[in-house]
Amino acid sequence: MPQAVEIWTGGTILTMDPAKPSAEALAVRDGRIIAVGDASDVVNLAGPGAEIHDLNGQFMMPGLVESHTHAIWGACRTLFDIYVGFQASLDDLLTAVRERCLRNSPDEVVFGGPWRPIMREGMGANPRELLDGISTRHAIVLHDASQHILWCNSRAIEQAGIGPDTPNIPGGVIERDPATGVPNGIFAEGAIAALRGLVQRSDAQLSEAVSEAVRYFNSLGFTAFKEPMATEEELKAYQAADLQGHLTLHTAAHIVHSSPLGGGVVPYDVMDKLRNAYASENLHLDFAKLFLDGVAPGFTASFIQPYLAESGYDAASHNPDATLLIAPDALNQMLINLDQRGYTVKMHAVGDNAIRKGLDAIEAARDANGQSGLRHEIAHSNYVSDEDLGRFHDLRAVAEQSPKMWYPNPGTPVQMAVLGVDRVQKNHRISDLVSASAEMTYGSDWPAAAPDANPWTGLSGMLTRRNADPAFPGVLAPEQAISLSEALPIFTMNGARSLRMEAETGSLTAGKWADFIVLDNPLMDMPPDEIAAVRPAMTVWKGDVVYAK
């Protein structure tokens, strides 16, 4: 039986629909928008018996879309793991590890972080020994801020099956004692898979984590998001939440095809089986994930020009392709195959060389398959070269933007130390990408490299190139700031298109789902730096209120 019509009116409505940018009222029935426009027209169309919601002068806009966040990881950090914050000292972290070892039984892995490269001097020549001094009974696995580098004690290394005779892993880094060749406790990229595998979550924990992530995201104003790196356990948890009616977000999950964090390449037929087995009404699985390089602090991001020699890098022997996690020919074939199978591919690429190789692969897929209509994505797109700016538009590729990674933050000094001040000014050339007509999406990458998933600080950062947190003053490449009107489609329409749901959400248009948020004041009336403090008064998804403060 059809539900009664609900009408929202009495405030300012920003629709993000170019054909009708603003409205006075919006009508909803059965979770869908049936009318949007002038108040009198919408009320007359709805007829008698409609329920009227008075906005009382508040501001309505489409719900936001988060295109890159590890939701289950982030919620597990909140619920189960050690987390000392991105400004904590080495002593703070070690104290937290000691306390957790006292609480945990020896069969429970002590996991968490983050640690930062600035702490390396205090770890000693063999960092595992510092953790061994806390416990040799517990496996201790600590991730850095990027989650691409691990610091482990001897017990964890032993349990992962790594020893002095373990050969170097392609695409990975095992740091060793120069005198003995014994792993010193620091592992990066492809070498971390076995160590991360020690951290196991129960079905109950994963269920609790999904519930926490959904609650958190709805409170921030998200009505849709993309899980950027999903294995079967994540897919199973998301589907279970959806079947139970708890997944109050349009969700897309990129099924892992190749990841240094999870071992070898997942065969295409296995990916297809996962897609078919776990897709559900609100869980969309025509998406795949690849990693092309690592991160700059670990010298594993792939750059055309070398890192600074004074940072300890052997600039004389620099080979741009040496840090690629997938050889270019193999990558091209992966894109061709995944595109043929109907997967939208998200490729982690930080350095300009990795980004170029990702665009080359998209071009190879276009040449081989024609225009499939799939908009493949370069995740993060930190350092785009001049020559590649226009290729995003030409190839119908998406340049994902992660402002929490580039506005002044705890990682900025490290970036400058290894890349130089001038090159860091090229981090996230968002204004240049706008000028090049590139399509962009927003992703926080929480909890990797981001203390939270708050989109409002990210939006503010796009407008100011500043961090709203006064602990990190300064501005980074102010000429790359964009306007609010340029930024809002990135968080709404473009995000919906990245989920292949542009006909279903992303704007307040008749026929689409009633996915919207209510704010106390119009964004257009706020100074850009004040947008960082915005918190939704209400989030509505498919016509249902899923958050209200």
Q: What is the pLDDT of residues 425-480, one digit of tens each?
A: 999 999 999 999 999 999 999 998 889 999 999 999 999 999 999 989 999 999 99
Residue-wise DSSP of 497-521: HHTT-TTTSSS--TTSB--EEEESS
**Domain range list for the chain:** 6-63+511-548, 81-196, 203-498
Instruction: Supply φ then ψ for residue 452, to 5 degrees.
Output: -155, 175
pLDDT at 311: 92
Residue 367: both structure tokens together:
């040449």
Q: Which residue type, as a one-letter code, is found at position 180?
A: T
pLDDT at 412: 87
Give the right CATH number for 203-498 from 3.20.20.140, 2.10.109.10, 3.90.600.10, 3.40.630.30: 3.20.20.140
Residues 6 or more apart in contact with residue 84 via CB below 8 angstroms: 92, 93, 96, 112, 113, 114
Q: Profile the chain (549 residues) by mean pLDDT over runs of 10 residues.
A: 85 97 96 96 83 96 97 96 94 97 95 93 94 97 93 97 90 89 92 93 97 98 97 97 98 94 87 98 98 92 96 94 96 98 98 98 97 95 97 98 82 91 94 98 93 95 93 92 98 98 98 98 96 98 97
- Which residues on adjacent β-strands are paired with residue 19? none
Q: Which residue type, as a one-letter code, is found at position 171?
A: G
**Long-range contacts made by residues 330-334, C-beta under 8 angstroms, separation at least 24?**
331/290, 331/292, 331/357, 331/358, 331/360, 331/361, 332/360, 332/361, 332/364, 332/365, 333/364, 334/257, 334/258, 334/290, 334/361
Residue corresponding to tokens 């987390």: 83
pLDDT at 484: 98
Residue 299: both structure tokens together:
């010298």
pLDDT at 399: 98
Residue-wise DSSP of 118-162: GGHHHH-SSHHHHHHTT-SSS-EEEEETTSSEEEE-HHHHHHTT-
Query: Among residues 435, 529, 533, which one has the least CA distance to residue 480?
Result: 435
What's the full length of the chain, in residues? 549
The CA distance from 277 to 291, in Å, is: 24
Q: What angle do CA 496, 257, 109 make, to 5 degrees?
A: 100
- Compute and round to an integer the Cα radius of gyration of the chain: 24
- How many Å from the N-terminal Cα to the C-terminal Cα in the chain? 31
pTM for this model (two decimals)? 0.94
The CA distance from 392 to 414, in Å, is: 28
The CA distance from 398 to 414, in Å, is: 27
pLDDT at 439: 98
- Which residues on adjacent β-strands are paired with residue 466? none
Fold for domain 81-196?
Diaminopimelate Epimerase; Chain A, domain 1 (3.10.310)
Contact 261, 318 (CB under 8 A): no
Residues 6 or more apart in contact with residue 343 via CB below 8 angstroms: 255, 257, 271, 286, 287, 288, 374
The CA distance from 229 to 539, in Å, is: 26
The CA distance from 126 to 193, in Å, is: 21
The CA distance from 110 to 99, in Å, is: 10
Percent of the chain at pLDDT > 70 equals: 99
Contact 143, 165 (CB under 8 A): no
Enumerate the H helices of 370-483 as residue ranges. Answer: 391-395, 403-406, 412-419, 421-424, 430-435, 455-464
**Distances in Å between the alpha carbon of 35 and those of 452, 507, 539, 544?**
36, 13, 19, 17
Fold for domain 6-63+511-548?
Urease, subunit C; domain 1 (2.30.40)
Query: Among residues 377, 534, 532, 348, which one has the least CA distance to residue 448?
Result: 348
Q: Which residue type, as a one-letter code, is found at position 82?
A: I
pLDDT at 2: 65
What is residue 416's three-state secondary structure? helix
